[in-house]
Each structure stands twice: as structure tokens, then as C-alpha cells.
Amino acid sequence: MTPHLTTLTDIISFGADRFPDRVALESSATPHALTYRQLWDCARRGAHALRRRGLERGDRVLLAAPPGPDWLLAFFSIEQAGLVAVPIPDGIGAALVAAVAAHTQTRVCISGPEQMAGPSTALRAGQVSCVTMPGLLDETVGTLDQQNHASDATALLAFTSGSTARPRAVALSHANIIANLRALMAARQSDGAETMLSMLPPAHLYELVVGQLAPLVVGGRIVYAGPLLPNRLVNALGEHGVTRALAVPALLEALCREVLGGLVERGAVRPACQHGSAVGIAMKLRQLGAPERERLRLAVRDRIGDAFRGVGLGGAAIGPGWPEVLALLGIGMDVGYGLTEAGPLVSLGWASNCPPGSVGRPLPGVAVRIDPHGEILVRSAAVMQGYFGDAAATSATLEDGWLRTGDRGYLDADGFLYIAGRLKEAMVTAAGDTLHPEEVEPYYASRFFAEHCVVPLRGSDGNDVPALVVVPRQQGSDEDLQREFGELRAAAPARYRVTTMVCRTEPLPRTLLGKLKRRELGALCTQTSKPACVN
Amino acid sequence: MHTDIETGVRELIGRICKLDASSLRRDDDLVERLGVDSLQGLQILAGVEKQFDVRLPDDELITLRTIGKIGAAIVRCRESEVLSPKF
């Protein structure tokens, strides 16, 4: 049964009524656990303590606690008090935290004990007081029971990890997030009894809404993973009876390799199935006979547990081959598309029910259309209120109720959505061609490159010059690399022949959530580019 | 001292990062000098836990960035397990 929700704390007050003694939050590594009743009691006490500090409805509170039960408890305390949570991604550095505090005019930060030394120094300079969640609970024995805020009040300011623009604070109301939760429930027809392994930072809206709030709506349990060692994560799936987990592509790939490594150790597959590209691994697994494949799936289940239904993929698109590897191992996967401004989920689908390359169908109640330039537009009750303190950016992004996503895509005849690239990453060449890096990159995959991507360099005529940036593997000389580049180029369709290759020894720059910073890399390469390889 | 353990760690890092293991020095910083990214770092520590059958302490993970430090952590884990065996 899905409860009637007006504000976000209704999720836990409902849980405290329906299943008070059920565990809501627990840590994988430590005995720290909270039942629904304890979560609700502590959140009301935390709310009381925040109000006693003189904070008033609508005031912002920075949330910089490490991922874990206390993070979500702090979140609900802030919401119960009618305040606005400003989640700070873990480890973004003191200067940025101080800038966020100044931009959002925040006076209080709920942080973790080990972080006190870093951000707190910068925050104190801006008159922000830091407190840990246990410290906050020690400040009062009273509770704040009445909710005195409305559904359309701002619940949080989410800093986007956008790959093409400077981070902005996205204002989302209680109603926005509840609308997204309802749409998700309707699409998934969840039967409850979820146990979610939380691996991603909760400051990422996808993790917060889909990974943490959604399971709590149906009385589920969240297990916080702790350090992201692949062996521990895969073991935790079976040990805790986990049903779902959300992952970004790099993490999901590491988990797949961990599962494959275990299969090799058990003799279920040949060692060659553990290494190399996903496309190669999929090819080797496909060659197995039906009985071997069944044995393989049983061995996988033995490791990850029978309860595990699947993994939700977010943050970026997964590399070619991985969806098939997962399917061959018998591991289900949700594909989807979303962005912070959309609250966040726009489309969702079970990978095996979706055409290859699609990101599922738009959720119920979410309207998607494609404008004449190919940009995906979204309208729903979950779309943000706007960018905090930035009316110009808001009016440029929200037009007549439609959210401009900045992503290019299309819908097929069956209503499946496909993403074709970031609009702002489109490269316009001197020949007048519009190229998207994602169209070009698949032609330059090579065993000589640990990583590769295509970025726009700024040509002398102001146009974009598409360039291939590679991080070479150790083996192979410069001549090998140049020869490989020549051969790849020759094999690519004329439209996708890139003329310049830039080598670097550093990994490609990515956002905290793993998205490639192509524009930044392009600007860097433009400053330092020369015909030979540069680092 | 603990040469076998450090040799094992060196080979493991070589395998995961596709580097020539003999070129790795015991005090090379994996991130600064070798360009190991955070995910590879986690894979190395996962490999260490499996190969040496230890559980590295959570609060030390972030400091384990050289072969020498990883080797010393393995030795400490083994010593503490002798005092309080796993069940």
C-alpha cells in the first residue's frame, strides 16, 4: 500500500505507524541500526534541536555528514523542522563548501566527526556552526511533532553535478519529490520488502530519491555499504539479503569483474572471461553451452544471493558489452534517464524489456517531447521550482512548464526514449557539420588505450576541431599509438575521421559522479595542444 | 622484512593496473606517482583482502597508498587476528 504523502517526513511517520519495529537503516560494517520508530523519534528530536538554534521555516541547513544512517536522519530532522536541506557531496573541498554556504546563506552545517577539521575551518570564517547528528540529538530531549510547512515548500537545494555547466542549486519542493516517488512506484509496481544496498553518495538526487526514500515508502530496509571495496560489496549482497542497489557505470563494471573473478576461482568459467573488454567477455560467455550457462547463473546466485533482483544504473551511460554480460550472468538491470532538475527520474525500464540503447519509457505522469533541435523536453509535477537565486538561469531552462534538459534524444514508435548526447557538447566543425562526441567515440576503442574520448578543440577560425584524447596503456610505443590511430581513423566513416590525437598520462577528468568533463578537457588541450603527444 | 608480502602486493598492483611489477618501488605513491584512480585503488585493496585473507581496518583505507604501507597493514591485521581469531 502506498501511503498518502504531503511532505517528506510523512514517509517515516507512516512507517513508524505501520511497521514501528522494522529496521529502516543499518550499516553494513558497524552494528548501527535504526527502526522506523527510532528514525521518526530521532528526526522529531533533531528537528526540535534545529529550531532551538533559532532557525526558522525556510532557513537552509548544510548536510555534509558521511553516507550512513545519520545522513538520512539529519535529512529528515531538517525536513521535519520545515527547513531546507542543502546536501554537500562528500569530499568536494573546503573552498567549495564555503562557497555553497555563502550562496545559500546558511548558518548551520550538520557534518561528520572526521570532516570537522576540513570544511569547518572555512565555514566558521563565514559564521557557520558545525554540529554532528549525535551532537544535535544531545542538545534536547524535546521533540517537534507538528509539521508547519506545506507540500509546495522547498525541501532541498540539490547541487547538480552537470557535465557542461557550473554547479547550480536546484530547488525542489516536497511535492516535486513526492511526485517522482509516486511515478516510480507506479512504473515499478513494487511489492515492498525491498532491501537496498546504498553505495552512492546520498547527496546525489538519484541515490536519495530512488535509492533511499523509495524503499522507505514501502517499509524497506537500507543497508549502507561503507568503503566501496568490490569484494565487500558483492559479499554484502548475499549477507544482507539485498534486493536492489544503485550504481554508476564504473562501479557496476568493477562489481561485474569481482563477480567474474569469483567465478574463475570456482572454476565456473575460464580465466580469460575475467579480463579484457566487456564486448570480449560477452562473446566468450555467449559461446558457453546451455548447461554451462545454467551452472554459471547458479554460481552467481550463490555469491550474490537469491533475493537480489537487480541493479539500477545511473549517472552516465554504461559502456558497450556490459548490459549483455549482466544478462548472461543472470543479473537484472534497470536502465533509466534523469537529471536533478527533473526531480530526478524521467524514464525507467528493465533492461531486458527495453530495446538495446534505450533508457526505458517515460514514467507515468511525466511528459517527454523532443524539440525541433533534438533536445529532450520534460514536463511533470516533479520538475524543479527553479535554480536558487538565479532567475535568469531558471527562465532559460523552464519554458511554459517544460524543462529544457540540454540532452539530445528521440522517442521511438513504441515510446522508448533514447539519449543521443549532450546538446551543449555538440561540436560544430569548420565544414558546418554538427558532431556529437558520443557518435564519434565508438570508432576509436582500442586495446592500446586505457581510456579515450573525443573533445572539441578551438580552431583558429573559432570552429570546433574534434580531437581524440587518449590515456595509453603501458605497453606500446608512441609509434604504435600513432599507427593505431591511423588505422582506426582509416576504418571510421569519413564523417567521423578525427584529425588530431592528444595523449595524456592522467586519467580523463570526471565529475564526482563519473561524468566526463569534455569541455574542460577540450579547453585544457587547446591551451597545451601540439602535434605530438602531450601530457 | 615481510618481503614475501610486499612482493605479493607488488604483483597484485601490477596485475590490476597493467604495469610492470618490477618497476614499482615500495614507497611509490600509487595515486601521485602511478596515477592509480580511486576505483583501481579500491580494486587493489579488495585484491589484498582476498589474497591475504584479511579485513583491512576501514579508518586506515585512505592511508594505504604505498606498497610498504599496505604490507605493514597486512602484517598488523594478521597479528591482531592471532590475538583475536576469526570465528
CA distance B54 to chain A (A): 12
Query: Any CB–CB contact under 8 A between A228 and chain B?
Result: yes
pLDDT, average across residues A437-462: 84
Q: Which residues of A touch B46 (CB under 8 A)?
A: 229-232, 258
C-alpha cell at B16: 590490476
pLDDT, average across residues A122-142: 85
Given the DSSP bridges, would you call strands A367-370 and A375-379 parallel, antiparallel or unpaired? antiparallel
pLDDT at A165: 44
User: Which A positions 438-467 lie with beta carbon below 8 A of chain B?
Assistant: 450
pLDDT digits (tens, 9 = 90+) for A17-43: 999 999 999 998 777 899 999 999 999
Q: How confident is the model at residue A328 (pLDDT cuts 50, 70, 90)?
A: very high
Residue A382 clears pLDDT 60, i.e. is over it: yes
Q: Which residues of A touch B61 (CB under 8 A)?
A: 227, 229
Asked if A227's CB is within 8 angstroms of B58's CB, the reply is yes
Q: Which spans in A337-444 are helix H?
A: 391-397, 437-440
Out of A216-230, A471-485, A489-503, the most confident range is: A216-230
Query: Any CB–CB contact under 8 A between B45 and chain A?
Result: yes
Q: In 3-state terms, what secondary structure has residue A339?
A: coil
CA distance B13 to chain A (A): 13
Query: Any CB–CB contact under 8 A between A473 and chain B?
Result: yes
CA distance A288 to chain B (A): 26
Worst-scoring range by mean pLDDT, A67-71, A321-325, A407-411, A517-521?
A517-521
Percent pLDDT > 90 in chain A is 53
For residues A501 and B48, what is the distance between their CA atoms, to the nearest angstrom? 36
Residue A354 clears pLDDT 80, i.e. is over it: yes
Of A191, A174, A195, which Cα lies nearest the Cα of A24?
A: A195
Asked if B42's CB is within 8 angstroms of A229's CB, the reply is yes
pLDDT at A514: 72
pLDDT at A533: 37
pLDDT digits (tens, 9 = 90+) for B11-45: 998 888 877 878 888 888 887 666 676 778 888 99
A270-304 CB burial, b ≥16 within 10 A, e <16: eeebbeeebeebbebbeebeeeebebbeebbbebb
Q: How many Cβ pairs closer than 8 A exist between chain A and B?
A: 37
pLDDT digits (tens, 9 = 90+) for A419-433: 887 777 777 777 666
pTM over 0.90: no
Nearest CA in chain A to B55: A232
pLDDT at A20: 97
Mean pLDDT of chain A: 87
Mapping DSSP onto H, E and C, the string for A278-325 reads HHHHHHHHHCCCHHHHHHHHHHHHHHHCCCCCEEEECCCCCCCCHHHH
Q: What single letter denotes the amino acid at residue A116?
A: M
Asked if A226's CB is within 8 angstroms of B18's CB, the reply is no
Asked if A232's CB is within 8 angstroms of B39's CB, the reply is no
Asked if B20's CB is within 8 angstroms of A230's CB, the reply is no
Q: In 3-state terms, what secondary structure has residue A114?
A: helix
Of A33, A55, A34, which Cα lies nearest the Cα of A43?
A: A34
Q: How confident is the model at residue A117 (pLDDT cuts 50, 70, 90)?
A: low
Query: Any CB–CB contact under 8 A between A254 and chain B?
Result: yes
Residue A265 clears pLDDT 80, i.e. is over it: yes
Interface confidence, given as ipTM, is 0.82
pLDDT at A164: 45
Interface with B, mutate which of A32, A231, A263 (most B CBs under 10 A): A231
Nearest CA in chain A to B47: A231
Worst-scoring range by mean pLDDT, A145-149, A530-534, B59-63, B82-86?
A530-534
Query: Any CB–CB contact under 8 A between B33 and chain A?
Result: no
